[in-house]
Amino acid sequence: MKRLAPRANLPEPLSGLQEPAVVELGCGLPWITLSEINRLVRQQGIAPALARAWLLDELVQAIPLTAQREQELLHHWTQHHVPKGEALTTWLQRQRLEPNDLLVLASQSERLERFRRFHFQQEVELHFLRCKANLDQVVYSLLRVSDHSLAEELHQRLLEMEESFDALASVHAEGPERNSGGRVGPLPLSKAHAEIAGRLRVSLPGQLWPPFAIDNVWVVLRLEQHQPARLDAGMRDRLLHELFEDWLQQRLELLRSGQPLPPLPPLPAADELLP
């Protein structure tokens, strides 16, 4: 099986290619000329997706794995994608793939994951602290009505515990919260309206806010639960992906503006154990 090898930092210029150079729809299946591809890239707005794919491929080609791990991934991938009883060569022909395509398909996820963990693992905790306020989740109840007097009356009923938030929202709410008894969440504070999020950040569970106006609608708000974000395994994985996407977006902007790309950062050795 042909091994992946690092490639140049920038794609080879196409100016030397003469028509009728074509792009293949699959291995051995000529499809469209380069000039037509350039037209589609311009007119269909697919330049960002194509540039992103190139940057990901650049990274995948550069990240080494041991020969043993490559064989393990190839075996696992073919077991799940090639129908039992069908010869691999026959399946490749039917899918219009080359043998080396299999190694990319089978190993690209692991190669990218190794890069994320190697390059961004030490930044996760700091990134978590920077954005924790937007990662915390809340559950709250709200009522939206267009009449100020009604909002005041509903607030008073809740304050004196004459009726439940659920009952009042089911009858009087004019927003979609009418169908949920006024209950919203859990959701990150960053997803809430700025006026609502600002009050929830300084609220204690059970705190009821007097009516306030948002876009000509009067809102009655109560915080039900505050669920602080925790840096558990799931959150670490999410933040690793965010850091990676930020890094990738910076390279994408450089590539699309025609500026030279900086070299790839240091990469993990093929046999290096990562946390």
Give the tens place of pLDDT for each residue, 131-170.
887 888 999 999 999 999 999 999 999 999 989 999 999 9
Residue 274 above 90 pLDDT?
no
Torsion of CA 181, 187, 191, 193, to 10 degrees: 40
Confidence of residue 8 (pLDDT cuts 50, 70, 90): very low
How many whole angstroms separate alpha carbon 86 and alpha carbon 77? 15
How many whole angstroms separate alpha carbon 155 and alpha carbon 168? 10
SS3 273: coil
SS3 244: helix
Query: Hey, what long-range contacts does 257-262 have (CB within 8 A, 24 or more apart)?
Result: 260/9, 260/10, 261/9, 261/10
Phi, psi of 99 (to 5 degrees): -55, -40
pLDDT at 12: 44
Confidence of residue 191 (pLDDT cuts 50, 70, 90): confident
> Could you read off the pLDDT of 210-267 as tens digits, one per residue?
999 998 899 999 999 999 899 999 999 999 999 999 999 999 999 999 999 999 999 9
Confidence of residue 52 (pLDDT cuts 50, 70, 90): very high
Percent of the chain exceeding pLDDT 70 equals 93
Q: Where are the domains of the chain?
A: 22-125, 137-227
- Do 140 and 222 form a contact (C-beta atoms < 8 A)? yes
Mean pLDDT throughout 38-67? 94
How many whole angstroms separate alpha carbon 270 and alpha carbon 115? 11
Residue 260 exposure: Cα atoms within 13 Å on the Cβ side: 4
CATH architecture of 137-227: Roll (3.10)
* Rounded alpha-carbon distances, angstroms, from residue 209 to 20, 152, 167, 182: 70, 11, 18, 14
Terminal alpha carbon distance of the chain: 29
